[in-house]
Structure 1
Amino acid sequence: MHPRLTLAISVMEALALFSYALSGLIEARKRRLDAVGAFLVALATAFGGGTMRDVLLSRRPFYWVEHQDYVIVIFAMAIFAPMFLKMTTRLVDERMLLVADAIGLGLFSISGTSIALDAQMPAFTAVMMGVVTGVFGGVMRDVLCNEIPLILRDSRPYAVCAFAGCWIFLGLHWLQVDSIYNVLFSTGFILVARLVTFKLDIRLPH
Structure 2
Amino acid sequence: MTALEIADIVGIISFAISGFLIAVHMKLDILGIFISSFLTAFGGGMVRDVIANKTPYIFTNNLPIILVLSTLIIAIVFKLHKIPDLEGKLAFVLTDTIGLVSFAISGALIAMKSDFNMIGIVLLSLLTAIGGGTLRDVVINRIPAVLMSDFYGAIAIIISFIIIAADSFYEINKITLLSIFIFGVILRLIAYKKRWHLPTLS
User: Shared fold by TM > 0.5?
Assistant: yes
Determine if the alignment matches structure 1 residue 191 to structure 2 residue 190. Answer: no
Query: Paired residue for 2:142?
Result: 147
Other-structure match for 1:104: 99
- Tell me if structure 2 keeps the 8 A contact 1:13–1:107: yes
Partner of 1:3: none
Q: 1:67 to 1:137 in 2, by over 3 A?
A: same
Whether contact under 8 Å (2:86, 2:92) holds in the other structure is no
Query: Does residue 40 of the first structure (1) align with residue 39 of the second (2)?
Result: no
Q: 1:80 to 1:190 in 2, by over 3 A?
A: closer
Q: 5 Å matches for 1:44-59?
A: 44-59=39-54
- Work out the percentage of aligned pairs sharing the same amino acid: 28
Distance apart, 1:153 and its partner CA = 2.2
Distance 1:52 1:39 in 2: 19
Equivalent residue for 2:198? Answer: 204
Residue 169 of structure 1 is matched in structure 2 by 163
Identify if the C-alpha distance between structure 1 residues 120 and 91 changes in structure 2 by more than 3 Å, giving closer, same or farther: closer
**Counterpart of 1:134?**
129
Q: Give the deviation of 1:14 after TM superposition.
A: 0.5
Query: What residue is the counterpart of 2:65 in the other structure?
Result: 71
- Give 1:27's aligned residue: 22
In the TM superposition, residue 26 of structure 1 has moved relative to its aligned partner by: 0.2
- Indicate how the Cα distance of structure 1 residues 76 and 34 shifts in structure 2: closer, same or farther if over 3 A, else same: farther
Maintained 8 Å contact 2:47/2:131: yes
- For the Cα contact (< 8 Å) 2:52–2:110, is it kept in 1? no
**TM-score, length basis structure 2:** 0.90
Superposed displacement of residue 19, structure 1: 0.1
| Number of aligned residue pairs | 199
Secondary structure of the corresponding residue to residue 157 of structure 1 = coil
Give the equivalent residue in structure 1 for 2:6: 11
CA RMSD, aligned part only? 1.9
Mapped contact 1:173–1:182 kept (Cα < 8 A): no
Q: Is the 8 A contact 2:21 2:86 kept in 1?
A: no
Shift of 1:189: 2.1
SS in structure 2 of the partner of residue 201 of structure 1: coil
Distance 2:139 2:69 in 1: 17
**Uncovered stretches (5+) of structure 1, i.e. residues with no partner:** 1-5
TM (normalized to structure 1)?
0.89
Q: CA deviation at 1:94?
A: 2.9
Match for 1:144: what amino acid? V
The structure 1 residue matched to 2:153, chosen from 159, 165, 184, is: 159
Rounded to whole Å, the distance in 2 between the matches of 1:86 and 1:109 is 27
* Cα offset, 1:184, TM superposition: 1.2
